[in-house]
């Protein structure tokens, strides 16, 4: 896969906006309710801790990507050296012309000192998680990786498309009467009260779904750089929505005082809080595609940490104000802002804007995740080192279609995907955020040490490079799986 062209690159700040958009999705809207249940003290500690864990594993992904770049550069150097020796044996004249461009740009591993960063390690070449798994993991590890990744990404795309379509349906269709308590009857209700069943809510949902795929689906045929202006626009919408929700909650606190009285610590709410936080800090599957086009990556780790701190502050503000401003919190926070005074035009506008919040957030993330899935499917079935040698249909058409059609079919015929949400955001989410980056970085370090020697310095090495950090992440992953299982069992028993 070639290095991104200069025109396809973007500044580090645009890259951080991409990452911000990817992380901050509808998962953030489930935080206030989970925050209130677990208690403000326990929730604050847990949220900061889980943000740190997510950041640590993001640095593992970056280090592994740099290792993969080093392996490809080393293989290229060996290829050039072999060609040079063969040409030298043939004739002196051919030797002078055989020094292909790029040979001089790569140093021999032996000349690198302990304190000199090696040019082997870079983030210029986009190498997806699937390619890293092919390089560094065993056959069993690769199988488990692709199963986990595909379950998570297909599940994510299904969740996103269903959430957007339902949000559009709720905005377009008439309000459901308060005496309607049976959720199973909602789909068959007329979308508009005057339509008398000719156009039902499920019809509106499916029309919104097809419109969403028609608008967002074409992006999967291109690279993530092509979504730049969409990212910038929806980032503004996202900030505006958060500012409105935080400001309105603060206004209610000032006007009426604290209506919610969450405890300081309630460990029974910990499993729910964990599920919300893990989903709210997920970005690892798409990091390679977002990082490689960035210009000037010398302080990437510092910039990424600032991004995580900003997101954590946003989450804490949202959760704290919501937990104390409302006596009862809905699982989806935007539902707390439905105005009671329908004559107030401003509140009516705010209602519609917040109802469309999932549309703004998920429409941005959908192309990034679909492109990530497409690239990883290519690395599973094709040799990415000679991608251009495959025919146009295979390269440009088949894999984008395979990435978007299954979620479309699933959500078209099955709009209630609550089971998929639980499995995707919990077990597969733990694997993507914690287990995969840790196993990849441990294998990559060992592989590069054997290939290049210990003297070659990786300037993108994670600050958490001590093996004890990796052991800690693995232990935490098993605790997470236990917490998620307890949460699911509890919910099942209380039905």
pLDDT tier at 202, thresholds 50, 70, 90: confident
Give the per-residue pLDDT at 438. Answer: 94
Q: Which position has the higher pLDDT, 95 or 223?
A: 223
pLDDT at 182 over 80: no
- In the prediction, which pLDDT does 7 show? 46
Reported confidence tier of residue 224, pLDDT bands at 50, 70, 90: low
Average pLDDT value for residue range 99-116: 47
**Per-residue tokens: 91:** 């004739």
Q: pLDDT band at 110, cuts 50/70/90? A: very low
Domain segments of the chain: what residues?
A: 12-80+125-175+186-494
Which pLDDT score is estimated for 195? 55
Distance in angstroms (rounded) separating the CA atoms of residues 323 and 482: 26
Question: Which has more confidence, 224 or 439?
Answer: 439
pLDDT score for 1: 35
Average pLDDT over residues 310-318: 91
pTM, rounded to two decimals: 0.77
Q: Residue 336 and residue 324: Cα distance in Å, rounded? A: 13
State the average pLDDT over residues 317-325.
90
From 245-254, 321-330, 354-363, the region with the lowest mean pLDDT:
354-363
Judging by beta carbons within 10 Å of its beta carbon (0-12, 13-18, 19+), is residue 285 exposed, middle or buried? buried
HSE of 441 in the Cβ direction (CA atoms, 13 Å)?
28
Q: Would you state the pLDDT for residue 436?
A: 92
DSSP code per residue over 367-433: HHHHHHHHHHHHHHHS-GGGGGGS-HIIIIIIHHHHHHHHHHHHHHH----HHHHHHIIIIIHHIII
Considering only 13-17, 220-224, 491-495, which range has the smallest mean pLDDT?
Answer: 491-495
Which pLDDT value is given to residue 136? Answer: 92
Q: Which of 39-48, 60-69, 73-82, 281-290 has the lowest mean pLDDT?
A: 73-82
b/e burial code for range 31-63 (CB count within 10 A of at least 16 → b): bbbbbbbbbbebbbebbeebbebbbbbbbbbbb
The total of other beta-carbon atoms located within 10 Å of residue 99's CB is 13
Is the model's pLDDT at 133 over the cut of 50?
yes
The per-residue pLDDT for 2 is 35
Q: Mean pLDDT for the chain? A: 79
Indicate whether 375 pLDDT > 80. Answer: yes
At residue 467, the pLDDT reads: 92
Give the bridge partners for 10, in sequence order: 294
If DSSP codes are grouped into helix, strand and coil, which group holds residue 242? helix
d(CA 37, CA 264): 10
For position 226, what pLDDT does the model report? Answer: 62
In the block, residue with structure tokens 């995969």: 436
Cα distance between residue 225 and residue 18, in whole Å: 10
What pLDDT does 288 receive?
87
Amino acid 362: pLDDT: 78
Structure-token pair, residue 4: 């991104």
Mean pLDDT, rounded, for 37-61 = 92
pLDDT at 444 over 90: yes
Percentage of the chain beyond pLDDT 90 is 15
| 172: DSSP letter | H
CA angle 130, 457, 53 (to 5 degrees): 55
Quick check: helix, strand or coil at residue 117?
A: strand
pLDDT level of residue 113 (50, 70, 90 thresholds): very low
Please report which confidence band the pLDDT of residue 410 belongs to, taking 50, 70 and 90 as the band edges: confident
- Computed from CA positions of residues 165, 167, 173, 178, in that sequence, does the dihedral angle turn out positive or negative? positive
Structure confidence at residue 64 (pLDDT): 94
CA 373 vs CA 149, 205, 285, 412, 444: distances in Å: 8, 25, 9, 20, 22
What does the block give as tokens for 306?
Answer: 């600032």
pLDDT at residue 98 is higher than 60: no
Query: What's the pLDDT score for residue 352?
Result: 79
Angstrom distance (rounded) from CA 77 to CA 108: 9
Looking at residue 111, what is its pLDDT? 42
What's the whole-number mean pLDDT along residues 219-235? 72
Q: Which pLDDT does position 388 carry in this prediction?
A: 72
pLDDT at 349: 81
Residue 124 has pLDDT above 50, yes or no: yes
CB atoms within 10 A of CB 367: 22
Q: Point out the least confidently predicted range of 35-44, 94-103, 174-183, 326-335.
A: 94-103
Contact (Cβ atoms closer than 8 angstroms) between residue 231 and residue 364: yes
Residue 78 sits at φ, ψ, to 5 deg, of -65, -40
Q: What is the pLDDT of residue 420?
A: 64
Q: How many helices (H) and strands (E) does the chain have?
A: 19, 0
**Whole-angstrom distance, CA of residue 283 vs CA of residue 298:** 21
Question: Helices marked H in 98-200 — which ranges?
Answer: 129-136, 139-172
Neighbours of 180 (CB within 10 A): 10
Kindly tell me if the per-residue pLDDT of 29 is higher than 90.
no
Mapped onto helix, strand or coil, the DSSP state of residue 190 is strand
The pLDDT of residue 51: 93
User: Cβ(477)–Cβ(430) under 8 Å?
Assistant: yes
28 alpha-carbon distance from chain centroid = 13
Q: Exposure pattern of 138-163 as b/e (b: 16+ CB <10 Å)?
A: eeeebebbbebbbbbbbbbbbbbbbb
End-to-end CA distance of the chain: 50
How remote is the C-alpha of 188 from its chain's centroid?
A: 34
Please, is 434 exposed, middle or buried when counting C-beta atoms within 10 Å of its C-beta (0-12, 13-18, 19+)? Answer: buried
* Cα gap 218→229, rounded to integer Å: 15
DSSP 8-state symbol, 460: T
Q: Please give the Cα distance from 433 to 282 (Å, whole number).
A: 7
Euclidean distance between CA atoms 411 and 389, whole angstroms: 35
- Residue 328: predicted pLDDT: 82
Q: Which of 15-24, 133-142, 349-358 is predicted most confidently?
A: 133-142
Closest CA relative to residue 449, chosen from 70, 34, 19: 70
Q: What was the pLDDT predicted at 5?
A: 39
87-96, 113-122, 197-206: range with lowest mean pLDDT: 87-96
Contact 333, 33 (CB under 8 A): yes
Superfamily of segment(s) 12-80+125-175+186-494: Amino acid/polyamine transporter I (1.20.1740.10)
């Amino acid at each position: 896969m070639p290095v991104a062209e200069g025109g396809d690159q973007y500044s580090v700040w645009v890259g951080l906006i991409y990452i911000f958009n990817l992380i901050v999705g509808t998962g953030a809207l489930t935080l206030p309710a989970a925050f209130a249940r677990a208690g403000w003290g326990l929730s604050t500690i847990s949220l900061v801790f889980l943000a740190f864990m997510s950041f640590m594993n993001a640095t593992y992904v970056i280090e592994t990507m740099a290792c993969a770049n080093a392996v490809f550069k080393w293989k290229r150097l060996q290829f050039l050296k072999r060609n040079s020796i063969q040409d030298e044996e043939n004739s002196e004249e051919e030797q002078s012309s055989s020094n292909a461009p790029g040979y001089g740009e790569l140093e021999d591993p032996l000349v690198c000192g302990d304190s000199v960063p090696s040019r082997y390690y870079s983030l210029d070449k986009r190498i997806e998680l699937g390619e890293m798994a092919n390089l560094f993991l065993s056959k069993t590890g690769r199988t488990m990786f692709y199963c986990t990744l595909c379950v998570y990404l297909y599940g994510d795309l299904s969740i996103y498309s269903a959430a957007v379509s339902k949000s559009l349906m709720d905005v377009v269709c008439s309000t459901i009467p308060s005496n309607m308590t049976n959720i199973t009857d909602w789909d068959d209700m007329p979308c508009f009260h005057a339509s008398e069943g000719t156009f039902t809510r499920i019809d509106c949902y499916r029309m919104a779904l097809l419109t969403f795929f028609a608008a967002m689906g074409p992006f999967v045929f291109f690279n993530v750089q092509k979504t730049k202006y969409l990212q910038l626009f929806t980032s503004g919408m996202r900030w505006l929505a958060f500012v409105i929700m935080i400001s309105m909650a603060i206004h209610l606190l000032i006007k009426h005082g604290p209506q919610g009285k969450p405890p300081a610590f309630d460990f029974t709410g910990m499993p729910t809080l964990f599920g919300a936080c893990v989903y709210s800090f997920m970005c690892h599957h798409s990091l390679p595609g977002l990082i490689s086009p960035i210009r000037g990556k010398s302080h990437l780790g510092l910039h990424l940490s600032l991004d995580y701190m900003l997101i954590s502050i946003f989450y804490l503000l949202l959760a704290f104000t919501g937990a104390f401003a409302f006596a009862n919190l809905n699982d989806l926070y935007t539902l707390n802002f439905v105005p009671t005074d329908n004559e107030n035009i401003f509140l009516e506008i705010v209602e519609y804007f917040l109802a469309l919040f999932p549309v703004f957030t998920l429409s941005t993330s959908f192309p990034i995740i679909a492109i990530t899935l497409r690239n990883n499917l290519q690395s599973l079935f094709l040799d990415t080192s000679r991608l251009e040698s495959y025919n146009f249909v295979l390269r440009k058409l088949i894999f984008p279609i395979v990435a978007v059609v299954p979620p479309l079919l699933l959500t078209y015929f099955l709009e209630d995907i609550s089971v998929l949400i639980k499995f995707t955001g919990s077990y597969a989410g733990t694997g993507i955020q914690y287990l995969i980056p840790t196993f990849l970085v441990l294998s990559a370090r060992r592989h590069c040490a054997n290939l290049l020697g210990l003297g070659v310095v990786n300037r993108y090495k994670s600050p958490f490079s001590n093996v004890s950090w990796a052991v800690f992440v693995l232990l935490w992953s098993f605790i997470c799986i236990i917490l998620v299982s307890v949460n699911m069992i509890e919910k099942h028993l209380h039905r």
